[in-house]
Amino acid sequence: MTDLTLASLGWSPFFEAQRDADDIGTPARVTAVHRASVTVLGPQGIATLLPPEQAGNYAVGDWVLHDGTVITRLLHRQTEVSRRAAGEVAMRQLIAANVDTLAIVTSCNADFNVARLERYLAMAGAAGCLPLIVLTKADECADVDSYIDRAQDLSALASVIAIDARDPEDAKRLYPWCRNGQTLALVGSSGVGKTTLQNLLTGIEDATQGMREDDAKGRHTTTSRALRPTLAGGWLIDTPGMRELRLTDAAEGIDAVFGDLSELAQGCKFNDCAHESEPGCAIQAAIAAGTIDADRLARWQKLLREDEYNSESVAEARARNKKLGKMYRSVLSAKHTKRGNES
């Protein structure tokens, strides 16, 4: 991509308003995060910078100010896609920043999973991104319309398109979400066609492998996130397939997906109604009337419980790490003082 400007990189008044006259550094956008460094792209070109803190505190898509060697400031994010990190340690994992549209990629086969799609939609809502559901392998499905209808029923906020991810013309249907400096991020399970889509949208060929017939999954080699220019004039972030998506700090996103249930719950007789067997439960009345699916209620309650637990765990871990950081700095300061006195 030639003749880069801040605007073509996705710069907006939101970021410009954060700059001060005393700021030291030039704006640039994070294209990749490494173990101890960050790669950025700006009008001056590509640079590899040293962060003043852990590189893990930065996300692909971030805007920073830098002096050519060191990051001098991380600008506030307009949107932030994150989850609770996999594993036993309670940590929040940054996935991408300043994403305009989150494309949730699944396929018209056994990979299509309502509960998983609801999780991704909740993540998009919590992040502040526009949700887009992309149904791949439409060319291999005899009943594409049923998949489209099921996806559209999940959220009134989400756009839904069904495509053959290997068809260059079909891939162009995503152009409206990745042009004019807009950033589109692809998320979803492994093997649903994200890397194939990335190749067609960016013109940058990444390796893909064949398909296993037993589980209808393709195989690709995406192992890390990167910001890439699209042929439409915007930006694309492809992410590795997620084996598990645990939400954290996603209450607003969950409410956006299950807004009908939240609204119904306000009509319950008791404020602390568990929507089980309490008298005057508006949700149970709707289930009895056939207007609400009992499975949908169960999925909503499961996500609420999970988000509450994960959010508390991550907050506790953050507070503990902050306390440990203060203790380490105090110990180092004491050592320096002791050495100074001894000399």
* Mean pLDDT calculated for residue range 323-337: 56
Residues in the chain: 343
The answer to whether 233 and 180 have CB atoms below 8 angstroms apart is yes
- Reading phi first (left if > 0) and then psi (alpha if -120 to 50, else beta), residue 280 is in left
Q: What is the pLDDT of residue 323?
A: 56
CATH of domain 80-238: 3.40.50.300
Tokens of 284: 């149970």
Tokens of 337: 């003082």
Q: What is the pLDDT of residue 5?
A: 97
Q: From residue 216, how far is each of 111, 115, 151, 165 by CA, in Å?
A: 8, 19, 19, 14
Cα-flanking dihedrals φ and ψ of residue 50, to 5°?
Answer: -95, 125
- What pLDDT digit, counting tens, does each position of 199-231 carry? 999 998 765 444 333 444 444 444 478 999 999
Q: What is the pLDDT of residue 161?
A: 98
Q: Hey, what CATH topology would domain 13-74 get?
A: OB fold (Dihydrolipoamide Acetyltransferase, E2P) (2.40.50)
Q: What is the largest CA-CA distance in the chain?
A: 83
- Residue ranges of the chain that CATH labels 3.40.50.300: 80-238
- Does the pLDDT of residue 334 top 90, yes or no? no
Q: Where do we find the tokens 């994960």?
A: 310
Q: What is the pLDDT of residue 191?
A: 86
DSSP structural state of residue 50: B
**Which of 62-76, 190-204, 272-286 has the highest average model confidence (pLDDT)?**
62-76
Q: What is the pLDDT of residue 84?
A: 78
Query: Of all residues in the chain, what percent carry a pLDDT higher than 70?
Result: 82
Report the alpha-carbon distance of residue 317 to residue 313 in Å, rounded. 6
- What pLDDT digit, counting tens, does each position of 138-182 carry? 999 999 999 999 999 999 899 999 999 999 999 999 999 999 999
- Residue ranges of the chain that CATH labels 2.40.50.140: 13-74
Shortest CA distance to 121 belongs to which of 134, 107, 111?
134
Q: What is the pLDDT of residue 221?
A: 41
Alpha helices in 48-102, H assignment, sequence order: none
- Does the pLDDT of residue 331 top 60, yes or no? no
Please identify, in words, the CATH class of the domain defined by 251-321: mainly alpha
- Does the pLDDT of residue 325 top 90, yes or no? no
Mean pLDDT of all residues in the chain?
A: 86
Answer whether 0.95 is exceeded by the pTM.
no
Report the alpha-carbon distance of residue 225 to residue 261 in Å, rounded. 35
Q: 215 versus 268: which is more confidently predicted?
A: 268
Band (41; pLDDT cuts 50, 70, 90): very high
Report the alpha-carbon distance of residue 152 to residue 74 in Å, rounded. 37
The answer to whether 120 and 208 have CB atoms below 8 angstroms apart is no
Q: What is the pLDDT of residue 327?
A: 57
Report the alpha-carbon distance of residue 343 to residue 340 in Å, rounded. 5
Report the alpha-carbon distance of residue 129 to residue 177 in Å, rounded. 11
Q: What is the pLDDT of residue 213?
A: 36
Report the alpha-carbon distance of residue 319 to residue 88 in Å, rounded. 17
- Does the pLDDT of residue 106 top 90, yes or no? yes
- Residue ranges of the chain that CATH labels 1.10.40.50: 251-321
Q: What is the pLDDT of residue 333?
A: 57
